[in-house]
Amino acid sequence: MAQEAVTDTPDDVTGEGVRRRDFINIAAVSAAGVAGVSLLVPLISQMAPSADVLAASSTEVDISAIQPGQAIKAVFRKQPVFIRNLTPKEIAAANAVNISSLRDPQTLAERTKEGKENWLITMGVCTHLGCVPLGAGEGENRGEFGGYFCPCHGSSYDTAARIRKGPAPKNLEVPEYEFTSDTVVKIG
């Protein structure tokens, strides 16, 4: 009988069943995986934008004091934004323009919200070289089309902030915005 014990081989040597070494390998790889994930999660989460950056991603503006025909300058993502309360005359002038004659064809309705056609909200950055056009402030030159005028290179925009003359290739950009009430607009 003693010979049988010597000649029998244990299961871990022949490869039959689960060996102790297999269990140790699985446990070690699992522990390394958990450790790797626990190191990566803080590294990846620290790349997320901070609270002050998220807060700057939208701006709320009270528009109750803007009279028809007036405009204000606000700041959104460190860039100027023009908010204009169009008069019925300015709306009529914008709607009277033949759209096919425009360099960047857009109607006033495409640039404003339904039911709020008198509120034109655009970025205050010229699409030519990034200058800030005039026309939003009291007494500023609005150009020959009554909208905005960029004195740096002579780009003129109409009352719907569409490019009409000069080197600018596109209309003033309309940012994403929504009216949260009748007197407050949220940009961004």
Catalytic sites, residue numbers? 153
Across-strand partners of 84?
71, 120
In whole angstroms, give the CA distance from residue 10 to residue 14.
7
Tokens standing for 67?
């009279």
| HSE-up (13 A, CA, CB side) for residue 52 | 0
Q: How crowded is the C-beta side of 62, counted as CA atoms within 13 Å?
A: 2
Please give the Cα distance from 84 to 126 (Å, whole number). 16
Among 143, 167, 173, 169, smallest CA distance to 156 is for 143
Q: Is 73 in a helix, a strand, or coil?
A: strand
- Paired residues of 116 in beta bridges: 113
